[in-house]
Structure 1
Amino acid sequence: MSGIQAMQRRESADPAAERRQAQAAVPQADGQSASASQPATPPPFVPMHPARAGAYMLASLLLALSQGLGMNLITANIPQIQGAIGATTNEATWMVAAYMAPNVSLSLALIKIRTQYGLRNFAELSILGFVVACLLNLFISDLPSAIVVRFMSGIAAAPMSTLGFLYMLEPFPPHLKMRIGLPLALTNISIGAPVARLISPALFDIEGWHGLTVLELALAMLAFCLVYLLPLTPPPRAKVIERLDVASYLLIATGFGATAIVLVLGRLYWWFEAPWLGELLALAVVTVTIAAVIELNRANPLIDVRWLTSPAVLHFTGALLIFRIVLSEQTTGASGFFQVLGLSNDQTTTLYWIILAATIAGGLACTAVMKPGREPLIHMVALALLAVGAFMDSQATNLTRPSQMFLSQAMIAFAGALFLPPAVASGLMSALKKGPNYILSFVILFLTTQSMGGLLGSAVFGSFITLREKFHSNHLVEHLALTDPLVAQRVAQLGNAYGRTITDKTLLSAEGIAALGQQATREANVLAYNDAFLMIALIAVAALAALLLHLAYDTIRNRTAVSPAASQT
């Protein structure tokens, strides 16, 4: 967490100066600024009619939901989808990998594309491509076609989050874009996961697998209409794309795509058992290294590698990655825990309504309290809530049901919506102080930590659960012997459940042993999830301690620096 504060070097507390700085920041933060050699004055802000401003905010919500549902509907319904396309769990998960492979890197290219060819053209073509990709989902009938279409959907969905940001920022005056517009835009993006689990049961009841794609297409069509009816303020164009940009992007896209596939599928095929996982990682290292070498020797690099590898930026990156790993407690942990207990999405509906409400409340609370200088306090509150919520979940048993996690999951959702906007705003302002050419590097940094960080969090969390489940399973099974009277009695009780259909005592005993093994596996999984929840709580506590130490260090250093000057005066 100390990296966020390390990047915050405030220049002035003058409100007028802050407003001028925010006004200069917004067009560049959207990735629309011209190059440093071609400065352009941003157009003056014209206040909107409230109804028109509400339409822009509705467009932002629809764009964010379209992108979020496209990514989360598949992840939330893998068990149901695999039956519809005749695939195993591992094979169906390739759909997620195919979606994420192009999605994690496309924002890098899209920022320069819309700067050179115009925001209006970018918005219209992007939403049209997304509608076409949603339409193709209706023709999925088997696994190969599903993988191809999901790959195309990942490409088409990449601009949606950017457009969601721009439409939310558009109606706000410059001095409120970072304070109100940014938290609301990030909240819109965050609600995709709980909404996907809320609507999935009803959609499957209506039309099965294609019910999901029909809703995705409907949202895309609504967003399509709003994008054409509500134009964004056109920033000045600039010719920013160079030939080497194409080569660098292709190398980075290959490396990021290979890494995304490994992170999605590594824990299913297991990291050390599938040779192709190592080959993909080697390919990622080689391609990203070549791209870094090219960028380091360019006069106008696509990304500033030296700035990205500076200590302050590395700390900032680490803070965002830790945040994504901690949030995997909710995105991966809670849903996986109830799946192990045999609960489906329709049995956890109330829980996800609460998560959705807490996420919205956290975003609104952030708009009320976020001001320059308050970032450390906001992050301390968020980390404390994350730690307490994860610790409460670590006390779960096989009798735990969603109602026992209402409070803890609400705390985690609230903290997640509260943490990210101040971090993004502070990092963005620090990049602006370095110059407009650093905006692209910062946007790349942020989007990479969110997409790749989310995949990394799920991979770490899932792998940790697998290892701990094997440990607890071995520990439990080694104490189960039929020579133990209690074990023999339990086997007999479980076998008697089949007594009306099976008369052979040997078969009854076998059924009892199998049932006891299933119970042992379930208990091992519950213990493994408890260990994972506790690990997340400890990570949050460690991050909170690091933040407090960093604040204490800064306070002591500032007092030490002021004392000699005061004594001389």
Structure 2
Amino acid sequence: MSNATTADGTPASGARVANPWLIALVVSLATFMEVLDTTIANVALRYISGGLAVSADEASWVVTTYLVSNAIILVASSFIAKRYGRRRFYLMCLATFTIASLCCGLAWNLESLLIFRMIQGFAGGGMVPISQSILADSFPPSKRSQAFALFGVAVVVAPVVGPTLGGYLSDNFSWHWCFLINGPVGLFAFILVYFLVDEPDSLRQERARMRRQGVRFDIVGFLLVATFLGALELVLDRGQTEDWFGSNFIIAATAICISAFLLAIPWLMKTANPVVDVRLLASRQFGSCFIVMLATGAILIATTQFIPQVLQQNFGYTATWAGLALSPGGLVTMFMMFVAGRISNKIQPKYLIAIGTAIIAAAMYDMTRLNADLNFGFFVWSRIYLGFGLPLIFIPMTAASYDGLRPDQTDQASALINAARNTGGSIGVAIASNVLAHREQWHQSRLVEHIIPSDPTYNQALQGATQYFADRGTGAIDAQSQAMAWIGQQVQIQASYLAYIDVFHTLMWLSLAVLPLAFILRKIDLGEGSGHQGGH
């Protein structure tokens, strides 16, 4: 079937219809569904734990297996799409993801759930970068920022919606629906992709060339990179639970990770058709975008996990209400995505990224005002501030990462950028978890130093609390015991607040650390007549 054209007459090589925005809507829907599954299970873990009669630690593997398998397949998606057909591969991933989601919802024990979750991660990991490549090929460079805005809504808003939707379904129905909900959405997306998305002529020619030349999949490179990413995800996700390097498991995983990395670099540099083009990462433009995406993923996923966590643990919110605190920020993010998409055609990406990074740093600094007297509105507004900043990074950075790339590099670039987002998310959560655990112990130790008989503040608090319990009919000895227990509880709560403040301070410094990278980016042509920037 012949390719259609975009509104400005540029060939839309990935579209079967005259309006490429239909393509953008369809692939963004599929992407939204896949990215949603990175966080939807987080708040449902205690329900999964109870429903399958396993420990909370065992249930957390539901998240880990998805992240690991997702990261592994990302690096192979580029070659598979080029060698066997982008559209065919995309449909296969979408169908597999949908079926695996239904199987997750029908899982009869933890082992079956983890197997289906791993299959779901493999399929989803192949789907997202191809979605981005389809967009890059369906729009001319001058329209690409607006198309990526719609895609960005899926990538940035989905992790925010995940805890809210997962909490609501788990609280009111069953944890199974966190996965079963993908069934009808996946079927709908599959039908639309089948009828609307076409294979670009350039990819057909590339596939024919690869077949003629007998180009083979870089299995050695894939195994090395997959081992590196898989081991890295395991270390980051399980480190805090396993007591980091006090665990032989973490030590072994780290050794495997480092060994695979050291072996992968020379192999990828010398092989003819590497599974990962490391020269892309070494370039000033794409390498800077890669690092910025790592940090953006870290802050997005870490805040998405830790804001609901502090609301549930320290403020007593249900999973549903903890998730709802993020929802208005998601709406602001959605609005700002389209604003960023519009202004990206007029303002250089480097300036928008710098502004967005500064806003995120300010939002994280605002979160350091955390205390027990805060209400629901504080957390809503904190997420709204973040919602203003994220799109100003995501949209310009995505557009900038494609600048100067050849058409055959778009799938590779998409895979690497999405690998950065996934890995960055795991890095962010690992850093935040580590800071939280260690700083909570440190603050508790400092606060306990003041709980001594010679401290007048402690004596005053003890007498007041003892009198409080005595006035309610408790005997003198029991009243004092209850008062001491209450003071100990207050120390733990205060230490927890101070540790969360340290987490948000850390994320603020992480945001500021990547700010200089924005100014490393070169200026790109914002006009209609820009050259090859990704898919044409």
TM surpasses 0.5: yes
Bigger mean CA offset, 527-536 vs 261-270: 527-536
Match of 1:485 in 2: 459
| 2:190 equivalent to 1:224 | yes
TM-score (normalised: structure 1): 0.80
From 320, 330, 337, the equivalent of 1:346 is 320
Whole-angstrom CA distance in 1 between matches of 2:324 and 2:353:
28
Distance, in Å, in 1 between the alignment partners of 2:167 and 2:414 is 36
User: How many pairs are equivalent?
Assistant: 505
Tell me which amino acid in the other structure corresponds to 1:93: S
1:122 correspondence with 2:89: yes
Q: Is the 8 A contact 2:444 2:492 kept in 1?
A: yes
| Corresponding residue number in structure 1 for 2:484 | 513
Q: 2:124 aligns with which of 126, 134, 157?
A: 157
CA contact (8 A) 2:296 2:421 kept: no
Alignment of 1:282-301 (within 5 A): 282-301=255-274
Among 36, 48, 51, which residue is 1:81 paired with?
48
* 8 Å Cα contact 1:482/1:488 also seen in 2: no
1:422 is aligned to 396
Distance in 1 (alpha carbons) for counterparts of 2:198 and 2:388: 31
CA contact (8 A) 2:70 2:121 kept: yes
Q: Which residue of 2 aligns with 1:195?
A: 161
Give the Å deviation of 1:98. 0.8
**Partner residue in 1 for 2:36:** 69
Q: Does 1:186 align with 2:152?
A: yes
Distance 2:231 2:193 in 1: 33
Change (3 A) 1:163 1:149: same
Secondary structure of the residue aligned to 1:73 is coil
Q: Secondary structure at the match of 1:415?
A: helix
Cα gap change, 1:490 to 1:105, in 2 (>3 Å): farther
- Equivalent position to 1:522, from 473, 477, 493: 493
- 521-530 vs 83-92, which deviates more? 83-92
The counterpart of 1:334, out of the listed 291, 301, 307, is 307
Which aligned runs of 4 or more in structure 1 are off by greater than 6 angstroms? none
**Residue among 101, 108, 112 paired with 2:79:** 112
Q: Compute the displacement of 1:234 (Å).
A: 4.0
Shift of 1:450: 0.8
Compare 237-246 and 350-359 and name the one that shifted more. 237-246
Instruction: Check 1:120–1:272 CA distance in 2 against 1; reply closer, same or farther (3 A cut).
Output: closer
Distance 1:512 1:251 in 2: 58
Counterparts in 2 of 1:164 and 1:173: CA distance versus 1, 3 Å: closer
Q: Is the 8 A contact 2:48 2:175 kept in 1?
A: yes
Distance 1:505 1:163, change over 3 A: farther
In the aligned structure 1, how far is the partner of 2:105 from the partner of 2:460? 55
Structure 2 counterpart of 1:197, one-letter code: P
Paired residues of 1:101 and 1:261 also in contact (CA < 8 A): yes
The code of the aligned residue for 1:92 comes to A
Whole-Å separation in 1 of the counterparts to 2:231 and 2:10: 39
Counterpart residue number, 2:57: 90
Distance 1:230 1:461, change over 3 A: same
Q: Equivalents in 2 of 1:541, 1:252: separation in Å?
A: 29
Instruction: State the partner residue of 1:475.
Output: 446
1:404 aligns with 2:378: yes
Q: So what's the TM-score if we normalise by structure 2?
A: 0.85
Whichever residue aligns with residue 378 of structure 2, its letter is Q
Residue 18 of structure 2 is matched in structure 1 by: 48
Aligned counterparts of 1:428 and 1:125: Cα–Cα separation in 2: 26
Which amino acid is 1:352 matched to? L
Q: Which runs of 5+ in 1 are unaligned?
A: 1-18, 27-41, 556-569
**Runs of 5+ consecutive residues of structure 2 not aligned to the other structure:** 1-5, 524-536
Query: What per-residue deviation string (whole Å, max 9, x for no partner) do you get for residues 435-462 of structure 1?
Result: 4555455334312211111110111122
Q: Which residue of 1 aligns with 2:353?
A: 379
1:536 matched to 2:507? The reply is: yes
SS at 1:302's partner residue? Answer: coil
Q: Distance in 1 between matches of 2:161 and 2:302?
A: 17
Which amino acid counterpart does residue 418 of structure 1 have in structure 2? L
Pair 225,336 (structure 1): closer, same or farther in 2 beyond 3 Å: same
1:305 aligns with 2:283: no
Map 1:220-299 onto structure 2 (within 5 A): 220-235=186-201, 236-237=203-204, 238=207, 239=210, 242-243=215-216, 245-299=218-272
Query: Residues 77 and 414 from structure 1, CA distance in 2 versus in 1: closer, same or farther, beyond 3 angstroms?
Result: farther
User: What is the DSSP-based 3-state SS (H/G/I as helix, E as strand, rest coil) of the residue aligned with 2:450?
Assistant: coil
Matched residue SS, 2:188: helix
1:143-174 Cα offsets, whole Å, 9 max, x none, are 2222222112111212332354356567x642
Counterparts of residues 168-187 of structure 1 (less than 5 Å)? 173-187=139-153
* CA-to-aligned-CA distance 1:264-284 (integer Å, 9 cap, x gap): 111222212211111011112
Letter in 2 for 1:215: I
Which amino acid in 1 is paired with 2:55?
A: T
CA RMSD of aligned residues (A): 3.1
Describe the SS at the equivalent of 2:198.
Answer: coil
Taking the TM superposition and a 5 Å limit, the aligned residue runs for 1:423-438 are 423-430=397-404, 432=405, 435-436=406-407, 438=409
Q: Which shifted more, 511-520 or 93-102?
A: 511-520
Match status 1:452 vs 2:426: no
Secondary structure in 2 aligned to 1:397? coil
Distance 1:507 1:139, change over 3 A: farther
> For 1:302 and 1:58, how far apart are their aligned partners in 2?
29
Render the CA deviation track for 1:193-223: whole Å, top value 9, x for unaligned: 2222222343224431112122122322222
**Residue aligning to 2:532:** none
CA separation in 2, counterparts of 1:114 and 1:542?
35
211, 223, 227: which one pairs with 2:177? 211
- For 2:468 and 2:425, locate their aligned partners in 1 and report how far apart those are by CA, in whole Å: 41
* 2:362 aligned partner, one-letter code: V
Given candidates 312, 335, 343, the residue that maps to 1:361 is 335
| SS at 1:267 equivalent | coil
**Structure 1 residue 473: Cα displacement:** 0.8
Match of 2:368 among 394, 417, 430: 394
Report the Cα distance in structure 2 between the residues aligned to 1:295 and 1:429, rounded to whole angstroms. Answer: 23
1:258 maps to amino acid: A
Contact preservation (8 Å) 2:276, 2:412? yes
Asked if the contact 1:329/1:533 (under 8 Å) is kept, the reply is no
Checking the alignment, whether the CA contact within 8 Å between 1:348 and 1:402 is kept in structure 2 is: no
Comparing 116-125 and 278-287, the one that deviates more: 116-125
Mapped contact 2:462–2:483 kept (Cα < 8 A): no
